[in-house]
Amino acid sequence: MNLTNIILAVGVIGGIGLLIGLFLGYAAIKFHVYKDEREEEVLEALPGNNCGGCGYPGCANLAEAIVAGNAPVNACPVGGEAVAQEVARIMGMDAGSATRMMAFVKCGGTSEKAKEEYAYFGVNSCKMAAFVPNGGPKACNYGCLGFGDCVRVCPFDAIEIREGIAVVDKEACKACNKCVIECPKEIIELIPYTSKNIVKCSSKDKGPAVMKVCEVGCIACGICKKVCPVDAVTIEENIAYIDQEKCIQCGACSEKCPKKVITF
């Protein structure tokens, strides 16, 4: 191999390398996606749980949405007011007032209070049990099955199974919404942390049918509605509903409820 060929080969390879480098440099400039520096700051301010309670897949996605103006600075339910204030500072905005929320299981039918139609020996899962006859062994089609799917998805250990039903620790709950999504009976909802008068029942059956299967089910008698001084109670689909925005927490409905299904 003579020297000329070697020099030619090196020159060709070097030229190709130079062209590739120039092309990559141009592409980097041409297709560069500008990233706002505040995005990283907001991400650092967020708790990093990646729970999805804000409606985004993770904290990084929420940070991007906040900086882009597609999400409010107080969108993180886990961080609460403290995180909202810090994010607002970064964004140069007012955090506003965010209402603290918590998950609540709308069922008081414990093992002693609610009847079962048969013994269940299947997979220990609410979602699986919901497929068996009557939607599970519980005589009430709307009641908590108590197999703990919500417990397993809660990233904050805020739920436990107590006497056959799920119970939420309001202090530990961060309102991430995972349990709400997971429950096949759809009996968990997010309510204001300060709520006291809440109906612990989800049954839409009529009173006589409810009394046959549960000692503490709402029978839609309407007494709570009659005694409420601010018209915060309505009867919808055979069950009492309390508007938490109207409720003044007087406790009259809870005191007069014959089934003691309203907590206070």
Of 245, 251, 222, 223, nearest in space to 232 by CA: 245
How far is the C-alpha of 201 from the C-alpha of 222, rounded, in Å?
14
Q: Which two tokens stand for residue 195?
A: 């709520």
Task: State the pLDDT at residue 168.
Answer: 97
Q: Mind listing the pLDDT tens digit for each residue in 178-193?
A: 999 999 999 999 999 9
- Please give the model's pTM, rounded to 2 decimal places: 0.76
Domains and CATH numbers, the chain: 40-91 (1.10.15.40), 100-194 (3.30.70.20), 195-264 (3.30.70.20)
The whole-angstrom separation of Cα 176 and Cα 39 is: 22
* Two tokens, residue 98: 């965010």
User: Confidence class of residue 112 from pLDDT cuts 50, 70 and 90?
Assistant: very high
pLDDT digits (tens, 9 = 90+) for 138-181: 999 999 999 999 999 998 999 999 999 999 999 999 888 899 99
> Which residues have CB under 8 Å from 101's CB, separation 6+?
77, 175, 190, 191, 192, 193
Amino acid type, 21 = G
With cut-offs at 50, 70 and 90, classify the pLDDT of residue 93.
confident
Q: What is the DSSP string of 166-201?
A: EEE-TTT----SHHHHH-TT--EEEEETT---EE--
Cα–chain center distance at 126: 17
- In tens, the pLDDT along 13-71 reads 777 777 777 777 766 666 555 567 889 999 999 998 888 888 888 999 999 999 988 88
Does position 118 have pLDDT exceeding 70, yes or no?
A: yes
